[in-house]
Amino acid sequence: MKSLDPRVSRLPETGNSSPKVPLDQFGTFEVFVQPKEGKPFQHEGIVHAPNLEMAYVLAKEAFTRRFTCISIFVTETRNVYVSALTDGDEDAYDHVTKVASTSGKETFEIFHLLKRGKQHQHVGKVEAGSHNEALWVASQQLRGNKQVFNIWAIKTSGIRFTKQEDLDLWNTLGEKKFRDAAAYKGGDKLKSFLEKTAQQ
């Protein structure tokens, strides 16, 4: 293809292959980011990937190339158990009912939505035998003074966390100034240009 873009001019010709298989897009994974020490992990969005490890690798640059980050984790969307979404002064925990405790406890990570329109934040973990029980235990252990509009419970075993040895992945984030508006201060150049043209 002849183009102004030398990269496009180099593209190979490809025919139209036979009708594609519909919906060949792979799984959906939710991405959580911890912006700095002492701040909770917050939901940031999704990536599509074939498995948890690929999701982690792809999420890292999709969500943490620009703003401060010290750690991320990802989990498959199917692993997120979602409570009712409430509004007004109704608390999502008001809809959580007691569930008989079962054996075979697992750890769940609990997330709260404190304001409609904002993002879910990690508040802690609970031990429970099911997602439903996790919400009940969370209502006993993690419910604070603030109204909660929505609760997520995620099985910890289904999460790809950042490993200890990978904590330096974000070490140079603050030094990549070329991605910062602050690196493009044209003020002085503009000023001297204006002074020069004013004299002419």
Partner 1 sequence: MYGGGNTFEGIKSDELTGEDPVKLAEFEARIERGEKIEPSDWMPKLYRKQLIRMIEQHAHSEIIGALPEGTWITRAPGFKRKMALMAKVQDEVGHGQLLYSAAETLGKSREAMIDDLINGKSKYSNIFNYPTFTWADCCFISWLVDAGAIVNQLANAKGSYGPYCRALDRICAEESFHLKYGHHCVIYLASGTQKQRDMFQEALNRWWPPMMHFFGPSDKISVHTEILMKWKVKMGTNDDMRNQFLDMYVPKIWELGFTIPDPNLKKNTETGRWDYTEPDWEEFKRVINGDGPCNSERLEVRRIAEERGRWVREALRTAKTEYVTPLA
Partner 2 sequence: MNNEALKELLYKMADDQLILGHRNSEWTGFGPLLEEDIAFSSMAQDKVGHSLALYTILQELGEQDPDTVAFTRNAEQFHNSLLTELPNGEYDFSLIRHFLYDTAEALRFEMLTQSSFEPLAQLSAKIRGELRYHTMHANTWIKQLGSATTESITRLQKSLEYALPYALGMFEKSPFENALISEGIFAGEQVLEDKWKRKVEEVLAQTQLQLPAWDTITPHLGGRVGKHTEHLQPLLDEMSEVLRIDPTAEW
Contact between 77 and partner 1 per CB under 8 A? yes
Contact between 58 and partner 2 per CB under 8 A? yes
Give Cα 108 distance to the centre of its chain. 18
In the region spanning residues 88 to 147, those forming contacts with partner 2, defined by CB under 8 A, are: none
The correct pick among 39, 48, 146, 163 for binding partner 1 (CB under 8 A) is 48
Q: Out of partner 2, partner 1, none, which partner does residue 102 contact, by CB within 5 to 8 A per kind?
A: none
For residues 46 and 77, the answer to whether their CB atoms sit within 8 Å is yes
Structure tokens at 12: 């190979």
Binding residues with partner 1: total (CB under 8 A): 64
Q: Is the dihedral of CA 141, 142, 145, 146 positive or negative?
A: negative
Q: Nearest Cα to 92, choosing from 158, 55, 142?
A: 142
**Pick 90 or 166: Cβ nearer partner 2:** 166
Residues 9, 116: Cα–Cα separation, whole Å: 48
Contact between 45 and partner 2 per CB under 8 A? no
CA angle at 104 for the pair 100 and 107, rounded to the nearest 5°: 90
In the region spanning residues 79 to 108, those forming contacts with partner 1, defined by CB under 8 A, are: 80, 82, 85, 87
Contact between 155 and partner 1 per CB under 8 A? no
State which H helix or E strand residue 193 sits in.
Answer: helix 187-199
Give the full edge-to-edge strand order of the sheet including 159-160.
80-82, 150-155, 106-113, 121-128, 42-48, 28-34, 71-76, 159-160
**Pick 77 or 140: Cβ nearer partner 1:** 77
Binding site for partner 1 (CB under 8 A): 1, 3-8, 11-12, 14-17, 20, 22-28, 30, 43, 45-51, 54, 62, 65-67, 76-78, 80, 82, 85, 87, 116-120, 152, 178-186, 189-190, 192-194, 196-197
Binding site for partner 2 (CB under 8 A): 6-7, 10-12, 47-51, 53-54, 57-62, 65, 166, 168-172, 175-176, 178
